[in-house]
Chain A
């Protein structure tokens, strides 16, 4: 087996005095979809945010252990967090377009990377929007405000915005939780398409979704990684009782 894209070793996270993640170790393979499931408050979103160090923004967070991306510990003092986030993109639970035009939203990332050539930007914006399956819907109103898009469109535009920076890994924090079934289906289709080129980690509280889109599934409970393995196995013959209870809907 090839080198895993992300390796987590003994990761523990505290919010102040409270332990939110307890000694988590796992490996996330390249160009596959890994889903994190678990009841709310189990730490899965927090864990996702450790993978591109978004937790740095929250005061009183203390982290021990290692997260290796391409064998590089991203919690090393020598790591540049800003560039790390270009490599590890993120899509949030609530679609969060900037109050700018669609074009400006997608071009934001390339621009801060120093690309100001109009031609180049146009190509990047178009390609990104195409990859996110939204180009056809917005190509005639690129310069309208992104706030005018529907929820599902906004979310796909946010994915396009993340793709425009050309990341290798995309973290998705419940990307479809606020969307209707049709938009959700589109997002899932998109995820399926994206995994050809990107490593995707997705947090979801929707087990069907995890079963549909992911190759691997990790079940979290109370800040611990209970079980991790092939999605099919987790959903059919889990090793742990807790996992089975959750999957079958006995709690959570």
Chain B
């Protein structure tokens, strides 16, 4: 057991933080929110240059060879700076290519992602209908709301046939039979529902063990949890400062006990969210049951904790909290999107089934059953 970040981890995280502080202001962000599909190509190139999309790709495929924790740490910075581009989605899509596809396919698709030429995303296609047809597969099914899908140069579909086996498909824009219904999300990023009707996908696709599909999806959830944590810390810090400056009834708001307790609730929520995020990140390599338990716990817990932070942040800012002028409203929307997306209810269901139902909630979450 060791709870200290390595020097490399801190260096990389601090590099990302410095870049975002210096370069990712309101103007840079607006270039992406104003773009048709929510991603400004110059921003994307800058993120690629920083190495964000290569973070968790193995070195032999041109990546940096880090793991889910390092990606998560960068996402916390992204949450603080309200990064609107699909960083985690692209990084996990790259990782999926590296783990699920044969080397020629991975080597074909990875370079444009790692160079920032395209962005990518990863999505679950459940109850997929797959038929082989010569050098292609004919795939039908529906993909739920997926961030980063509009304009993506590549969507990695993790298809669940409902019979245990999982397949991965690389879908490119314009593939016949794929319709994309793009939406603007509360955090101003773009997402889309995908419908596949007898889509013809060249059979260069990968085949995966069911658990590696779940692992990839859990890595995405983990990244979104850390991004939410960054937004929570920022909103909470800004609120604590604001109530010390703002005076009403002749004294700072911070002097009112009701306000004090709102600030305290935010602090507690942030500490718990950080612990949940850390437990999930450090459980990724402890085996499937620890990972499932910790990721579902994190998604649920950070969902509840972010609600406490977001609502108190807006309330403590009074009228200014409900104006678009301050970042507080933005953080509120970011966290609302986080809670709505990525199966909050599904994670509580999964925890209830796999952790409560199996009885392993009676054991320590850290010293638990399948820790080596």
Q: Do A and B bind each other?
A: no
Q: What residues of chain A have their CB less than 8 Å away from a CB belonging to chain B? A: none
